[in-house]
Amino acid sequence: MTSVVKRIEPRTSRAQNLLEDQVGNEFTSSQQYLAMAVWFDQRDLPRLAAYFYSRASAKRDHAMKIVRYMMDNNIAVEIPAVPTVRNDFGDPRELVALAVEHEAEVTGEFTTLSQTAREEGDYLAEQFLLWFLHEQVEAASRMSSLLNVIDRSQGNMFDVETFLAREDLARS
């Protein structure tokens, strides 16, 4: 019996290179959200901590989904190093405002990736990326809502915790 060796193709397009960059971006996002979750956890805000732990897990899953797509398409994958993330925040609003900005950046990254795939005629990648664009709309909306609730709470984090418990955002 002859063994079949799967041939891994080097990345040959800008879209493929951007996919690998996005793997790093998603792992970095995961680490940043983990740092945010720990910040909330250390301040006895369990619902906010759970929400950000959930976001960290989702971002890791996104990275792995891209890795799996690349491997399924025989595209070479290298897992990049993750840069240092921010761990100090002055108050909860500052942290969530950073997350809102971050979600906008990630949406831009996926939009660029999708545009590039389309320009290169990579219809499989374009179709694959639609899921991420949909996820980003939801993630950005939820994070903006959370920031609005924090602003309306006027510093009363128990109101924010109650909102999160009622809306059960940690499960989305």
- Asked if residue 101 belongs to a known ligand binding site, the reply is no
User: Domains (ranges, CATH) in the chain?
Assistant: 14-78+88-171 (1.20.1260.10)
The pTM (predicted TM-score) of the whole model is 0.89
- Asked if residue 103 belongs to a known ligand binding site, the reply is yes
3-state secondary structure the chain: CCCCCCCCECCCCHHHHHHHHHHHHHHHHHHHHHHHHHHHHCCCCHHHHHHHHHHHHHHHHHHHHHHHHHHHCCECCCCCCCCCCCCCCCCHHHHHHHHHHHHHHHHHHHHHHHHHHHHCCCHHHHHHHHHHHHHHHHHHHHHHHHHHHHHHHCCCHHHHHHHHHHHCHHHC
pLDDT level of residue 172 (50, 70, 90 thresholds): very low
**65-118 confidence digits (pLDDT tens):** 999 999 999 998 999 999 999 999 999 999 999 999 999 999 999 999 999 999
**21-77 confidence digits (pLDDT tens):** 999 999 999 999 999 999 999 999 999 999 999 999 999 999 999 999 999 999 989
pLDDT level of residue 3 (50, 70, 90 thresholds): low
Asked whether the predicted pLDDT for residue 168 surpasses 80, the reply is no
